[in-house]
């Protein structure tokens, strides 16, 4: 009987040695990868029946990127997420990412093998989800992204010491991001008047609250990170043909809005 080909992705060297040996004893032909680029390269060159990927490969949530690539390139493959830090949000995202199963470390090998064999014998019909452009998906999930951003602000070494609450720091940002998503969908490379006015308002608001100008840049960096991770976790739902152009345009418009906020901030300094 042909051995099922399995791709195991994990950044822990010891686990990449021990687990594949055990899986091979149970009839699997195993290839390993230590990073997302290595995994993507193997997926592009070889066919696999199974993917078992750690959730956090270098960066939190990298496993979802590997799963998304596998689903795109080899949609018939069975996919598993393996993690030592289970939580409800991760499990929910795994389900949304069409992961076949979600296992925790240290994995019981016999249970893992049984789960692999069961899923291989009972492969579910392929579901091709409709895709949408990245700015449209971002717009529909602004509350989630902004909540992550607020959390990152509250955890930042300097920003958490300010007298401004995370909710105050957000002020006009939802309106700014909404406008940016709309402009990006239109293929525009500049802000419309309404979005620009919100960016100006944001800078003035920061000055009135005695915020530091460099904190505006730090907030923008944290916001860009939150958006990037959101896109990473939702690759299956995004139209890949426009992904790069859309992401670059969103990032550029955020930079333009930040520059406008900084200009209005410094204008208040000059006035006073």
| Chain mean pLDDT for the chain | 84
The CATH number of the structural domain formed by 134-271 is 1.10.490.70
Burial of 37 (C-beta count, 10 Å sphere; 0-12/13-18/19+): exposed
pLDDT at 15: 86
* Dihedral, 43, 49, 54, 58 alpha carbons, nearest 10: -10
On the question of pLDDT at 102 being above 90, the answer is no
Residue with the two structure tokens 């949530």: 61
Q: What percent of the chain has pLDDT over 90?
A: 41
- What pTM was computed for the model? 0.61
CA within 13 Å, CB half, 238: 24
Domain 4-121 falls in which CATH fold? Rossmann fold (3.40.50)
According to CATH, where is 3.40.50.2300 located in the chain? 4-121
According to CATH, where is 1.10.490.70 located in the chain? 134-271
- pLDDT tens, 105-151? 777 788 888 888 888 888 766 555 577 899 999 999 999 999 999 88
The answer to whether 8 and 54 have CB atoms below 8 angstroms apart is no
- pLDDT tens, 32-87? 999 989 999 999 999 999 999 988 887 777 788 888 888 888 888 999 888 776 55
């Amino acid at each position: 009987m042909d051995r099922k080909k399995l791709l195991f992705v994990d950044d822990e060297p010891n686990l990449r040695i021990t687990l594949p040996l055990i899986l091979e004893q149970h009839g699997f032909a195993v290839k390993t990868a230590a990073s997302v680029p290595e995994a993507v390269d193997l997926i592009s060159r070889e066919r696999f029946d199974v993917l078992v990927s750690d959730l956090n490969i270098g960066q939190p949530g990298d496993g979802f990127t590997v799963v998304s690539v596998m689903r795109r390139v080899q949609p018939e493959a069975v996919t598993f997420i393996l993690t030592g830090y289970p939580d409800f949000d991760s499990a929910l995202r795994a389900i949304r990412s069409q992961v076949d199963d979600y296992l925790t470390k240290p994995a019981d090998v016999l249970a893992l093998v049984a789960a692999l064999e069961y899923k291989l014998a009972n492969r579910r019909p392929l579901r091709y989800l409709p895709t949408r452009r990245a700015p449209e998906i971002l717009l529909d999930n602004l509350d989630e992204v902004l909540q992550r951003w607020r959390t990152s602000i509250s955890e930042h070494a300097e920003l958490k010491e300010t007298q401004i609450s995370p909710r105050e720091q957000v002020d006009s940002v939802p309106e700014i991001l909404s406008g940016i998503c709309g402009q990006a969908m239109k293929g525009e490379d500049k802000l419309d008047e309404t979005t620009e006015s919100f960016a100006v308002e944001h800078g003035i608001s920061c000055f009135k609250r005695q915020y530091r100008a460099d904190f505006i840049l730090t907030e923008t960096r944290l916001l860009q990170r939150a958006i990037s991770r959101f896109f990473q976790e939702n690759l299956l739902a995004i139209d890949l043909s426009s992904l790069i152009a859309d992401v670059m345009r969103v990032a550029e418009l955020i930079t333009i809005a930040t520059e406008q906020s900084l200009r209005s901030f410094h204008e208040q300094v000059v006035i006073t």
